[in-house]
A = this chain, B = another copy of it.
Amino acid sequence: MSAVEEDLDSAGPQSFEGRAVGRLLDALGRPAVEFVLWSGERIASPGVRPVVKIHIKDRGTLYGLIRNPHVRFGDAYSEGRIDIEGDVVALCETAYRGSQAVGGSKSFLHKVASWLQRPHENTLTGSRENIHRHYDIGNAFYSMWLGTTMAYTCAYYPSESATLDEAQVAKMHHVSRKMRLRPGETVVEAGFGWGALALHMAKHYGVKVRAFNISHEQVVFARERAKREGLDASVEYIEDDYRNITGKYDAFVSVGMLEHVGADNYPHLGAIARNVLGANGRGLIHSIGRNRAQPLHPWIEKRIFPGAYPPALSEFAQIFEPNGLSILDVENIRLHYAKTCMHWMDLYEASTDKVKAMFDEKFVRMWRLYLAGSIAAFTTGTLQLFQVVFATKENNDIPLTREYMYSTT
Knowing A321-B314, A327-B330, A329-B330 touch, does A394 contact B406 (C-beta < 8 A)? no
Interface residues of A (CB under 8 A from B): 100, 157-160, 291-293, 312-315, 317-318, 320-322, 324-332, 335-336, 379-381, 384, 393-394, 396, 398, 400-403, 405-406
Contact check, B314 vs A317: say whether CB atoms are below 8 A apart: yes
Total copies of this chain within the assembly: 2
Knowing A314-B314, A321-B291 touch, does A157 contact B396 (C-beta < 8 A)? no
A315 to chain B, nearest CB (A): 8
Contact check, B317 vs A400: say whether CB atoms are below 8 A apart: no
A152 to B165 Cα, complex, angstroms: 47
Q: Which residues of B contact A403 (CB under 8 A)?
A: 406
Closest to A398 in B: B335
A322 to B313 Cα, complex, angstroms: 12
Contact check, B335 vs A400: say whether CB atoms are below 8 A apart: yes
A327 to chain B, nearest CB (A): 5
Contact check, B158 vs A401: say whether CB atoms are below 8 A apart: yes
Contact check, B313 vs A292: say whether CB atoms are below 8 A apart: no
Q: State the 9 A-B residue pairs at the shortest beta-carbon distance, nearest first.
A: A330-B330, A314-B317, A314-B314, A292-B321, A381-B393, A328-B332, A403-B406, A313-B317, A291-B326
Contact check, B331 vs A329: say whether CB atoms are below 8 A apart: yes
Contact check, A313 vs B327: say whether CB atoms are below 8 A apart: yes
Q: Which residues of B contact A336 (CB under 8 A)?
A: 400
**22 A-B interface contacts by CB (under 8 A):** A100-B393, A158-B400, A291-B320, A291-B325, A312-B317, A313-B313, A313-B314, A313-B321, A313-B327, A314-B317, A314-B318, A317-B317, A327-B332, A328-B331, A329-B332, A335-B396, A335-B400, A380-B394, A381-B393, A381-B394, A402-B402, A406-B406
